[in-house]
Structure 1
């Protein structure tokens, strides 16, 4: 089953994922396109779903597998520093969980690969400095290259009038808030994963 950007957005909203959300799956496959899946990635998503519903400690094992997949993906994929644009990885696990919730019969590896394929345009080609947004308990760090990408997307939408600099600014925060309001999202002014996906991938 092909998971579209809009499908991920709807799933994420339904699951109330506060920390929302290359091309294709990892390329280490045979000439026929097949490859061996090791560990928990070979299990059906239903196993992950059940562990989440039961609040089982096994969820941490699945999360560790997903994060390991992400690290291996970054190492094996040319011209990729990080396929997931936010430094914190908890949102990545939540997004895979959202896909699994809708597709209990596919493998955990397949759900993870589908997510990476969908968010490929948000991947980072190089390590850039972290930019902090927010204050107090509501703070978020985003890499400068991702901030630039968001600034350009908001500029294209006529919401951001400033210079594309990759820096936090009152103008950018106001533009993010205006965009979030237009999308019916919580208005935080933070460039979280849901905001990046909606602004950059949803045309």
Structure 2
């Protein structure tokens, strides 16, 4: 089952037009059309309806992760568009996009989600870092963690180093920032926190 995201956070980024930073691709016919295979050709409405049908939802989520991988490969200077656990977060972000675009294909919604996340993309491979807070743990790429730390330094929430190490000082600063944004103060660098810290203007 998908983990609920703060859809207002994601919608504010998408509505602000930040999604137009990645290339839209050029592999199409002379009318800018191309074939979409598999679940990506389904409507957003069908994707959202799959949330209560685990087998169907897994099929859609698997297609979405393949789509994200293909975009990682195709886009220049991109290791990964998604700084967090793509297995949960990317399908959930696509769900948020789909809620206002029920007639769009899943592929179109996935493209909009990738474009919205483009400013968060990691340009190079970096090791996974375990971030522990209050008995919970997530893994994020070191490069992504450094960018989040730098954003919190710029917003005056954190006065440590942007070194990609999840210190106790950083976890405390992250909780303080999350509270200021009316997000759950988990101390974990989740996708909502990345969006608010780096994409929100």
> What TM-score, normalized by structure 2, do the two folds share?
0.85
Once residues 92 and 135 of structure 2 are traced to their aligned partners in structure 1, the CA distance between those partners, rounded to angstroms, is: 20
Once residues 158 and 9 of structure 2 are traced to their aligned partners in structure 1, the CA distance between those partners, rounded to angstroms, is: 23
Once residues 62 and 76 of structure 1 are traced to their aligned partners in structure 2, the CA distance between those partners, rounded to angstroms, is: 21
Contact 2:44 2:105 in 1 (8 A): yes
Unaligned runs of 5+ in 1: 1-5, 13-21
Report the RMSD for the aligned CA atoms in angstroms.
Answer: 2.2
Contact 2:10 2:96 in 1 (8 A): no
Partner of 2:149: 151
Partner of 1:133: 131
Q: Secondary structure at the match of 2:137?
A: strand
Partner of 1:41: 40
Partner of 2:53: 55
* 1:1-203 matches, cutoff 5 A: 9=9, 23-52=22-51, 54-134=52-132, 138-203=136-201
> What TM-score, normalized by structure 1, do the two folds share?
0.84
Aligned residues: 188
| Deviation string, structure 1 residues 44-73 (Cα, Å, up to 9, x no partner) | 111112222x42521111111101101111
Greater alpha carbon shift after TM alignment, 81-90 vs 67-76: 81-90
Once residues 154 and 32 of structure 1 are traced to their aligned partners in structure 2, the CA distance between those partners, rounded to angstroms, is: 44
* 1:190 to 1:152, Cα distance in 2 relative to 1, 3 A: same
Unaligned runs of 5+ in 2: 1-5, 13-20
* 1:192 to 1:39, Cα distance in 2 relative to 1, 3 A: same
